[in-house]
Structure 1
Amino acid sequence: MRTDFYQVPLPVVLTDAKHGEMSHFELVTVQVEDSDGATGLGYTYAVNSGAEAFAVLVDRYLAPAILGAEVDRTEHIWQQMWWAVHYAGRGGHATSAISAVDIALWDLRARRAKQPLWRFLGGYDPKVPVYAGGIDLEFSIEELLAQADRFREEGFRAIKMKVGRRFWREDVERVARMREHVGDDFPLMVDANMGWTADHAIKVARALSEFDLVWVEEPTIPDDVAGHARVLRDGGVAVATGENLHTLYEFARVMGEEAVSFPQPDICNVGGVSVFRKVATLAEAHNLPVSSHGAHDVTVHLMAAAPNRTFMETHGFGLDRFLTESLKIVDGAVIAPERPGHGLTFDFEALRPYRIGTSKP
């Protein structure tokens, strides 16, 4: 196993309601190799800070727990990793570190089988609908509408915009202008990034309900499951959440308590392929459509294998400029690649200037 840690500048500074200004993101890549020389690649990331801890967890604790394991026993390996760092934190840094290794192992397994990951996972439909995830809270209305035009020129047929301004009526005005700009039948979502209390979220959601939104995302903090349920029940708009839920059990709770309409696991922090697919199945059992957060270049395989998938997010932290081949958006959808494994090949030379550290147990 080899682990690399990078601090990657963003092309433009991005903003949302809780993370503030984001000038860069942190990236951890994990490469695994089996005794036959086959390889797999995984990664995880964090906003602004914290990801170095993922690399330390992989190098110091996860690698010793699993080196020498049988790669086909991914469930057994996942449990070995989970219990190796369980006491240090159930979720959070622990599951982000586990995610990177788990993605690499599934990539390796599918490569050995000479199948694309989405087929290896059972296969449903390689054509996955996508939306553009704008990170644009501080954009002027003119910039917001110009961005929407660029998204449509790039092939998107659904857009998500940020809400959570200091004065909530500004949010309503911005959504109204966006709805007028894109038209009545264009799928439009909003994302509050945990910026509201449940009471405030209900008030704003009711004001936004006339604009026929697909969902309001993360209206309040992920810990307030009862608050999410109230917003969904009383706000008049569907609720999406999940990027800050880091275990299968957290997803089971929000679904069981009817606090979510669109579960959104992030493959890079929920526990990797192993857990994402379980969240998707759990959502199917609750008759809920599954969406996603981040890491669209890998997530496309999980969405292509899920019969209950809906829009997949393409995120502003995308790694397209460091990939030898990236997903192409055509008429609002992407096609899961047919290359073996997840098909990602990083341009590590392009990433090299941003590498902070490396380790090879």
Structure 2
Amino acid sequence: MKIKNITTFLLKVPLGDQRFYSSQCAFPERNSLLVRIETDTGICGWGESGQYGPGEPVATFIETVLKPRLIGKNPLDINVLWEDMFTGIRDFGRKTTGIEAMSGIDIALWDIAGKFYDKPVYELLGGAFRKKVLGYATGCYYRGEDVLDYKKSLQNLKDEASGYIDAGFTALKIKVGLLHVKEEMERIAAIREAVGNDIILMVDANHAYNFHTAKRIGKFLEEMNVHFFEEPVVPENIHGYKTLRETLNLAIAAGENEFTRFGYLELLKNECLDIIQPNIGCAGGFTEAKRIEALASAYHVQVIPHCWGSGIALAAALQYCATIAPSPHTAFECAPENSPMIEYDKNVNPLRDSLLTETFNVNDGFVQIPDGPGLGVEINMSVLKKHLTKT
């Protein structure tokens, strides 16, 4: 079996008045860069990359740099191909765009392997510790015509948070970092009041704070019984992460903006984090994500992957979650203390909810892991074509 062709598909869905903000930027659209690898036997695999910034640079990197290296190669030689790609771009692509491009290709290669062997990816990666994973709703962004008028939106914020709990989720991650700290505290308190004390609550700043501000709001998060504080400071602030972890009585999480095991090694050896969050579509695909997990286990740090993008990204993250060992082992695993959770972005996203021929099943807060061959999902090509902006 040989790789016959590699094609990228840039998808965009404008959100109109449903656009939202994190601390860093507006989201006026949902976008995704899908990767399809075709073989000479007719088996095709799908992957996803380019999930954070514009997809165009990643698509160009795949087309002009990686594709020529892969055409004619055996798609089942996944580790060999990963090393060939990485060493080929080491001088200019060890981070960001180059690794994102590799990630989408790696996911597609594992999808091909699963279809070839008629097994889900999790079986090829060594088996499943679980067939379902606790999902946490990600929501409570900044919405409305004036996102800075937080008082006007407080009731809507409480209703939104309560709606996720009514839908069956028992864990919720909310956004902070766009407003003054005292205003953010009011938002957080309102959400905690709305969902009650039994709900697992997590807070994500998207690296909005300097150290002393992160410490200030972190002390308040302790009072609010928050499970983890995600990306409190910028990814480069290694000392800040380490000191916050030593200072605050809650878990510090980060890693979505890191790439390959070499990047995660710096976070781990400097004792920066309680939880690392590799994104399969950015950190190096399944191949590298398993290496990152092994590295984390040596430092006794929990892995809870980050997930953002289309249904392909979610399917890949679910396959990965199946394979993550409890950390540490107990007779009955208990999420989130020692087993992974899956991030379930609850913003409007047709690229997750309509793009696949299958739907993701969420029951009692748990998301079922697809058990079909490969990623266990297939693309609805008519929906893909509807949202396609570039091939």
TM superposition score normalised by structure 2 = 0.87
Unmatched 5+ residue regions in structure 2? 1-5, 308-312, 327-338
Aligned 1:239-258 pairs, distance under 5 A? 239-258=252-271
- Equivalent residue for 1:299, pick from 303, 313, 317: 317
Structure 1 residue 257, shift from structure 2 partner = 1.0
Q: How far apart, CA to CA, are the structure 1 residues paired with 2:322 and 2:362?
A: 15
SS at match of 1:131: strand
Query: What letter matches 1:170 in structure 2?
Result: E
Q: How far apart, CA to CA, are the structure 2 residues paired with 1:133 and 1:216?
A: 13
Query: What letter matches 1:63 in structure 2?
Result: K
Q: How far apart, CA to CA, are the structure 1 residues paired with 2:10 and 2:194?
A: 41
Tell me the alpha carbon deviations over residues 37-88 of structure 1, each in whole angstroms, 9 at most, x when there is no partner.
Answer: 22211112334x5211111111111111111222221111011111232222
Unmatched 5+ residue regions in structure 1? none
Q: How far apart, CA to CA, are the structure 2 residues paired with 1:83 and 1:28?
A: 23
Q: How far apart, CA to CA, are the structure 2 residues paired with 1:198 and 1:86?
A: 32
> RMSD between aligned alpha carbons?
1.7
SS at match of 1:76: helix
Match of 2:211 in 1: 198
Q: How far apart, CA to CA, are the structure 2 residues paired with 1:39 and 1:354?
A: 20
Query: What letter matches 1:305 in structure 2?
Result: T
Query: What letter matches 1:209 in structure 2?
Result: E
Query: Are the equivalent residues in 1 in contact too, given 2:51–2:281 (CA < 8 A)?
Result: no
Q: How far apart, CA to CA, are the structure 2 residues paired with 1:177 and 1:339?
A: 42
Alignment of 1:115 with 2:115, yes or no, is: no
- Equivalent residue for 1:162, pick from 175, 190, 195: 175
Tell me the alpha carbon deviations over residues 151-202 of structure 1, each in whole angstroms, 9 at most, x when there is no partner.
Answer: 1232211000111142101111221222222122210000101100112101
Query: Are the equivalent residues in 1 in contact too, given 2:139–2:172 (CA < 8 A)?
Result: yes
Structure 1 residue 348, shift from structure 2 partner = 2.3
- Equivalent residue for 2:74, pick from 70, 73, 76: 70
Query: Are the equivalent residues in 1 in contact too, given 2:33–2:55 (CA < 8 A)?
Result: yes
Match of 1:22 in 2: 27
Match of 1:152 in 2: 165
Query: What letter matches 1:73 in structure 2?
Result: D
Q: How far apart, CA to CA, are the structure 2 residues paired with 1:25 and 1:60?
A: 25
Structure 1 residue 33, shift from structure 2 partner = 2.2
Query: Are the equivalent residues in 1 in contact too, given 2:140–2:160 (CA < 8 A)?
Result: no
Q: How far apart, CA to CA, are the structure 1 residues paired with 2:365 and 2:295?
A: 26
Alignment of 1:130 with 2:163, yes or no, is: no
TM superposition score normalised by structure 1 = 0.94
Match of 1:178 in 2: 191
Structure 1 residue 215, shift from structure 2 partner = 0.5
SS at match of 2:28: strand
Query: Are the equivalent residues in 2 in contact too, given 1:117–1:301 (CA < 8 A)?
Result: yes
Aligned 1:180-329 pairs, distance under 5 A? 180-294=193-307, 295-308=313-326, 309-315=339-345, 316=347, 319-329=352-362
